[in-house]
Structure 1
């Protein structure tokens, strides 16, 4: 969203190091086939964490549900996982089947993986139980009362979200939607020399967002401020800026909401069609991110938050290479691959470059990528979807009443096919009418399909030009914002 008129790279640490597979022996000393076999492996490891995997083979009668338990005795803590419902109580880790992989026939196998933190060593578990039966040995059942559906940890913190098919799920496998607001300020205040945030970001103001029953807060950022480049005043740059972002993320998480970090304004001079400014610096929305600084920005952000998988990364606010290039194909190729793009005078970082920068740090956080036309066009998103080795990439979309794709016919033809294959998140919805009739239509379409959306914006601007959701940071809504507030509260009873 464009805003109303207003009067040094962190070191890469803990890069993942590929390790050899560590596998627990699968047969007994006598050569007898065990009732079940578990192969446990550490597939990658870094200073403060690792990625693990299990392959479970059932050597007895077919099972209609399975439950694997083992102990991590070295202080490791599982933070997220996939292909199973993962939980941990003390040292005991439980992986229970998902609804789609509960059938485990005789001789059949199933694999699942997880991310865990560690400090110091990384001791390999020695004993595995499948539905109470010790695996990798010919011993019989030892604990038939082991549960097949582990309880939710219920720690009250923000969920760890992961892509599963076309849905977002938490660590327990429960489908989740991101519903909330944008908290603008971090993208423009610093580059304008006026501070870091626009308005308060204290505990009370963040609690006011949660009081609307929001579960997600999108936080726009500025790459020059994060990286501490020389054109930014030192008090608003580098470590001061990074620490302010970390503090706001912590407040959002403490209120049980998902923090979404989004790159809004970037470096690179663009004066072509629909240019927001002629400045080379990150003082307006550019058509694409720049290769000079943006991969470094995401490397630094990913290193800062890779051990907090509740944080979501939104790659770039509103790409519009379609306004610079002469063909749609050129625009989508520029979007994905970057490089030298027609009509853009700087070297572009494509969405693939940014995904690669994040994953190279070992971060497996959920990533969002918006399409063309200020993220309003997803017509070829699936065809040009970046490759994500973590399989944790979702589509982002923006819509306002003045956008091209702002009616149900367009949503049905261009959004529905995307939403059928990957999670779809409307990172910005809004209107500049000081009413909420349009966003009501958007929310209904997304509600009917179980999709995510966030209102623009939690700032006290004029709702006719912002648009802004609030008139006070205590959560008092504008005539526009009351629509989102009342809707979110109604969804939560």
Structure 2
């Protein structure tokens, strides 16, 4: 869906007065090995500043990338660093791996150093987190589900079985919920990471609608931390914010769907959303330069958590650039040099391969052409998935071509007969819910999945908005989805 209109590193001056090393030791309550260990050392101090280092040891499964976070006290400010990509947002300092030191085998260590300002005192960080896991503490055992903590409250790891999505026990599951827009555009516009609050209360409000799924649109340049993005909203800061939202969604029993919305590549042809080469609007297809790397990174981040679903690309529209529908579908699957698109395209097969090459077996969604509204040849051109865990994604609004029961019966039903079908976006620009009521009934009658666009407080005349407040107060449009979800799952 389209959206509503919207320091130089300091050198150290003067000699460094070395005063000996101050180190935070690794201590656990029981003497057990922690999941990760961090030794924090102050190796030099002078008036107004100090030099420090961190030595990180990974004691769990091997990782291909790492990000360490901790908080500075006493108004300390990071000035420069080495052997990691260092950044600071508020009091939180992040050190993310460089390209040459991302891999950490079990038991392996890596060190990085920094220089920071200080006003007074020798306060040291109280805690450290490596890839979101607290270090220097015992690994707590997973709690055993009890009468008030049923295991079924956790979202399931989903897999494809015939034309159904099923959980580990083989029970059929549907993805029913909302989109949470913001992560695709706020960062590239230099305004933040999410549009509106993503605290626990706002996520709970989604669950209170009896939604079981939240789709989270993303921006590849922000995730990869490219130079055109404000560092406060890019790289490790952006990734950690996404991981935190995913964790909140899961904590309320809902399935997180991470989806690539905006990408790199200059396109000025038919139906272009912008002339910018950067990821500032919807492009007709993903790009080979960055998108495979984006999906490899996302897959490595979440491959140990199969409850997370991967939606490859929001709304492909190569059909607007190419001369024939056949060319459009070939471009969609195979990428390369596509007629009418001036950059090298990453096809859906390239993206499936990027995910699977990491070892991730998470469920993957792939939308068709014509802004994901056309699935007429999806079965013919579907990419090969060695994990056998690929489903079809479809989008529909009242102004799309395939927006009537006749089209759904002729083009969607054959796809849904063979593979799981997920309507990743449903909506209308009428500020009402008469159209999506028809969509939901058609999908309900067939046991299929759908997600409303969008859980944001926009004026409904500029973009379908489900809510007027992040406490879950519905718009007239949102009332239709809320009431349907509560009737199904209440």
Matched, 1:2 2:2: yes
Q: 3-state DSSP class of the match of 1:383?
A: helix
Task: Report how far residue 295 of structure 1 moved.
Answer: 0.1
For 1:331 and 1:416, the matched residues in 2 are separated by: 22
TM norm structure 2: 0.71
Q: Distance in 2 between matches of 1:254 and 1:175?
A: 21
Q: What whole-Å deviation, never above 9, does each CA across 1:198-233 have from its counterpart, x for those lacking one?
A: 000000000000000000000000000000000000
Task: Specify the alignment match of 2:488 in structure 1.
Answer: 491
Report the count of equivalent residues: 356
Tell me, in whole angstroms, the C-alpha distance in 2 between the residues paired with 1:378 and 1:466.
24
Partner of 2:428: 431
CA RMSD across the alignment: 1.6
Deviations 1:258-309 (Å, cap 9, x if unpaired)?
Answer: 0000000000000000000000000000000000000000000000000010
| CA positional deviation for 1:155 | 5.0
Q: Identify unmatched segments of 5+ residues in structure 2.
A: 7-61, 65-103, 107-141, 143-148
Equivalent residue for 1:165, pick from 154, 162, 167: 162
Partner deviation per Cα, 1:432-471 (whole Å, 9 max, x = no partner): 1010000000000000000000000000001122110000
User: Alignment partner for residue 372 of structure 2, among 372, 375, 399?
Assistant: 375
State the shift of 1:156 in Å. Answer: 2.1
1:418 to 415, 419, 430: 415
Of 258, 277, 281, 1:280 maps to 277
Which residue, 351, 355, 359 being the options, matches 1:354? 351
Q: Secondary structure at the match of 1:399?
A: strand
Distance 1:419 1:211 in 2: 29
1:12-51 per-position Cα deviation (integer Å, ceiling 9, x unaligned): x758xxxxxxxxxxxxxxxxxxxxxxxxxxxxxx979xxx
Q: Deviations over 1:293-329 (max 9, x none)?
A: 0000000000000001000000000000000000111
The CA distance in 1 between the partners of 2:228 and 2:189, in whole Å, is 10
1:230 aligned onto 2:218: no
Which segments of 5 or more consecutive residues in structure 1 lack a partner in the other structure? 7-12, 16-45, 49-89, 91-151
What are the equivalent positions in structure 2 for 1:164-203 lying under 5 Å apart?
A: 164-203=161-200
- Residue from 387, 391, 394 that aligns with 1:390: 387
From 444, 463, 468, give the equivalent of 2:460. 463
2:210 corresponds to 1:213 = yes
Deviations 1:69-127 (Å, cap 9, x if unpaired)?
A: xxxxxxxxxxxxxxxxxxxxx9xxxxxxxxxxxxxxxxxxxxxxxxxxxxxxxxxxxxx
2:467 pairs with 1:476? no
3-state SS of paired residue (1:465):
coil
CA distance in 1, matches of 2:105, 2:185: 34
Partner of 2:260: 263
Give the structure-1-normalised TM-score: 0.71
Distance apart, 1:154 and its partner CA: 2.2
CA distance in 1, matches of 2:489, 2:228: 45
